[in-house]
């Protein structure tokens, strides 16, 4: 009988050790996985922001869809305005003229930066190939018309098995919170994490 109790005690203590190990392991795995996935999404958003800024340099507004964004980036060129004459020179008496010059292809700048346009629209770590939410419009801001953009993804789109609420490991974690850049209410391309 004593051997049976000893064996049961040994099995029970092994089970308790295993449960204790699991209770420590899971929060660490959550934290590491969250940091890894957040960083990948942030880097992709930075690339999208860079390409959106190039698009805005070419068109004067932001792209409201990835198809529009990629079409312009792959086919258009940057322009440069050359001013002929110097209005600040008191000895200049001629007419000031402006020339629009097409310079470098936008795709060359994208390639130089190493941005992968084929995967730009897709949220990292999302096996369903879901795209980032992208919105752009022109608003009235301080008595002028200003283009605005907002691109982002909610945590539940890229956190995998941690997409549900895991507040027991991180009180600030909200699976519906969005990592994003831009703002639809004012002209800004700042990020939600800075």
| 64-101: pLDDT as tens digits | 999 999 988 888 776 776 777 776 777 777 777 766 66
CA angle in degrees (0–180, nearest 5) for 140-145-149? 85
Q: What is the pTM of this model?
A: 0.78
Structure confidence at residue 40 (pLDDT): 93
Question: What is the model's pLDDT at position 111?
Answer: 84
Q: How many H helices and E strands in the chain?
A: 4, 5
Q: Residue 129: which pLDDT band, with cuts at 50, 70 and 90?
A: confident
CA atoms within 13 A on the CB side of 129: 2
CA atoms within 13 A on the CB side of 158: 25
Q: What is the pLDDT of residue 107?
A: 84
Three-state SS string over 34-68 comes to HHHHHHHHHHHHHHHHHHHHHHHHHHCCCCCCHHH
**For 34-56, how does the pLDDT look when each residue is reduced to its tens digit (9 = 90+)?**
899 999 999 999 999 999 998 89
16 — pLDDT class (breaks 50, 70, 90): confident
Q: Would residue 30 be called left, alpha or beta, if left means φ above 0 and alpha means ψ between -120 and 50 degrees?
A: alpha
Among the listed residues 95, 75, 99, 73, the one whose alpha carbon sits nearest the alpha carbon of residue 86: 95
């Amino acid at each position: 009988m004593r051997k049976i109790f000893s064996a049961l005690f040994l099995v029970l203590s092994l089970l308790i050790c295993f449960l204790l190990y699991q209770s420590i392991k899971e929060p660490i795995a959550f934290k590491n996985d969250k940091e890894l996935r957040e960083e990948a999404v942030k880097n992709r958003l930075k690339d999208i922001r860079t390409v959106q800024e190039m698009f805005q340099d070419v068109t004067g507004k932001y792209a409201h869809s990835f198809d529009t964004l990629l079409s312009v980036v792959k086919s258009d060129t940057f322009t440069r305005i050359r001013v002929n004459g110097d209005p600040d020179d008191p000895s200049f008496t001629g007419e000031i003229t402006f020339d629009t010059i097409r310079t470098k292809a936008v795709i060359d700048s994208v390639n130089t930066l190493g941005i992968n346009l084929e995967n730009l629209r897709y949220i990292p770590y999302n096996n369903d190939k879901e795209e980032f939410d992208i919105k752009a419009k022109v608003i009235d801001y301080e008595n002028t018309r200003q283009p605005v953009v907002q691109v982002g993804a909610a945590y539940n789109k890229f956190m995998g098995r941690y997409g549900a609420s895991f507040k027991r490991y991180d009180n600030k974690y909200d699976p519906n919170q969005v990592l994003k850049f831009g703002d639809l209410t004012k002209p800004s391309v700042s990020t939600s994490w800075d």
